[in-house]
Structure 1
Amino acid sequence: MMKSSKLEQYIRYIELDREKVPSFSEYPFNLPAVKDLQSLSFHPKVTFIIGENGSGKSTILESIAVAYGFNAEGGTKNFNFTSRATHSKLSSYIKVVKGTKKPRTGFFLRAESFYNFASNVDDLDNEASFGPPIINSYGGRSLHEQSHGESFFAVFLNKFTGEGIYILDEPEAALSPSRQMSMLTRMHDLVKEGSQFIIATHSPIIMAYPQAVIYQIKEGFEQIGYKETEHYQVTQSFLNNTQKMLSILLE
């Protein structure tokens, strides 16, 4: 098992250059995740960012990925496709502070643009005149010829390897509960091989990964424990009192 230190981790923290921000009353700087942001530190292994819809967790994750060098729509650093330029300008104001060690690989996975990523893989293979097909490194079968969940999981299993930096935006979007648990197993194997994860999620299953840092966005970032999260508490309450909760919700 590889050991990680704060200095060696791939992304140590980010800083927002607040002096250059044109206005904190304009998008994306008016988002709860951004307007009070000074800096944000990351766990050497797994960091979760959670929050209500519209809090800015996907925007902040995208800015980290783009500032680090990933394509805004996802993939490895080798991808540079654009189906529609909708990403925010926040990455231009974010400084990513790296550690002393460089990752061997990495991937930015975002649920909302995964279809575009899968299409780009097929397009590149169709255009290539030499060399092995790119799809071979994703399991050898077109991601479009699989269900959304299967294609997501094919990336986890085949493209994610040790000593990597992985930035994941709502990976649970395509995964069943059992596949989310399988994702935890895969994550743990990769963490033991020296990988670092930064994940925005709503899933109480995924965010249960032990010893991870969980940041909740309300009025800024607040570090909280797993059982303190609304996701855990609401899910637990609903499962333990299903009929009562349904009576309240559907009356």
Structure 2
Amino acid sequence: MSAHSRTEIALITGASAGIGRAFALQLASRCKGLILIGRDADKLAAVVAELEQPGLSITSFALDLTTTEGVTRVMEAIRQKGPVSILINNAGFASYGKFAESDLDIEMAMVNLHCNATLALSRAALPYMKEAGRGAVINVSSLGSFFPVKNSAVYGASKTFLNLFSQALQQEVKADGIRVQCLCPGYTRSDFSDRELLAELDSSKVPDELWMSAADVAAASIAHMDSSSEAVMCLTENNRDLANKGLMAQAAGLL
């Protein structure tokens, strides 16, 4: 991704807060266009207002990507507002509790968002990237995809899907000049863990050294994409150390 000229059009899902908002803020200076997707119309409008600047076109859609209608409308935006040269599949949520006692509709919606929406939007954007001979796809997974995390079985499993999909996709599109990254953040300070579905999760038990800011996560991802590294998986140095020490798994066991 070029950091010196406004040639990019980036589409970011889950852009109204957290890592998605951080991506939007950090990519604004290099993009001529941003397409921002989020569920909360008010929060999304606030991000748009924060980003407005000369030379940058911003389009936003308040949509639910767990639904077919929401995904279809974003696919149409890719056709009408693109061509998208940077696709960031960031939207996501988690639930907490035993799967056998869970709300199946919620668990299925999570799979739809993490897996199905990612597939659909990637499939819509890639032909334009191939035609241009360049592009970047960032799929936001999780450090939790490397561990079996009790009480978050579907979350971890759906994120593991993104790991393997991203690695295979990179093999397919590398010759077309397209970079694929699978970003695996650990515990990130945002409103992600404040949601009602995670009400029973006591994040205060997680050691301070496991936490990162959303801005730092986005910065690490962008730096990785700008580097000469051919690695698909993107873990910050902090997260690599934590994974090696098993601290993520230990923290998961505390929750």
Higher relative contact order at CA 8 Å, sep ≥6: structure 1 or structure 2? 1
Q: TM-score, structure 2 length as denominator?
A: 0.35
How high is the TM-score relative to the length of structure 1?
A: 0.36
Structure possessing the higher radius of gyration over alpha carbons: 1
